[in-house]
C-alpha cells in the first residue's frame, strides 16, 4: 500500500477510536495532518482570546520544514500507536 493510501486509511481510523485521545495527542495529530496536507503554516497566529486556535496553530507551525512524506509517516505512526493503546470501535 502506498504512503498516501496508508495516510488516508489512518485518517479514517482515527475517527473510529474507542475513546477520545488526550488534548496533546489531538494537537499532534492536527499539526501532522495539516503539514501533510497543506504544508508549512503561513497564516497569522490567532489572537490571545482564541486559546484553542493558538494551540492548533502552534502545533502546525512546530512542524515547519517537515516534508509531506515525513508528516504522513509520523501521522500514520501516531494513529497506529493510538489504535494500539485505545483500540477501535
Grid coordinates in use for 78? 501516531
Please state the pTM of the whole predicted model. 0.94
Each residue's pLDDT tens digit, 27-62: 999 999 999 999 999 999 999 999 999 999 999 999
The per-residue pLDDT for 9 is: 97
DSSP secondary structure letters along 29-85 = HHHHHHHHHT-S--SPPPPTT-HHHHHHHHHHHTTTT--HHHHHHHHHHHHHHHHHH
Query: What is the set of domains in the chain, with CATH numbers?
Result: 3-86 (1.20.80.10)
Q: How many other C-beta atoms can be found within 10 angstroms of the C-beta atom of residue 16?
A: 10
Q: How far is CA 89 from the centre of its chain?
A: 20
Q: What percent of the chain has pLDDT over 90?
A: 96
pLDDT grade for 8, boundaries at 50, 70 and 90: very high
Amino acid at each position: 500500500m502506498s504512503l498516501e493510501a496508508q495516510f488516508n486509511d489512518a485518517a479514517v481510523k482515527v475517527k473510529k477510536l474507542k475513546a477520545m485521545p488526550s488534548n496533546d495527542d489531538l494537537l499532534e495529530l492536527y499539526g501532522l495532518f495539516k503539514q501533510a496536507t497543506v504544508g508549512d503554516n503561513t497564516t497569522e497566529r490567532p489572537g490571545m482570546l482564541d486559546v484553542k486556535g493558538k494551540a492548533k496553530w502552534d502545533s502546525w507551525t512546530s512542524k515547519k520544514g517537515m516534508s509531506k512524506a515525513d508528516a504522513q509517516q509520523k501521522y500514520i505512526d501516531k494513529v497506529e500507536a493510538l489504535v494500539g493503546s485505545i483500540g477501535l470501535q
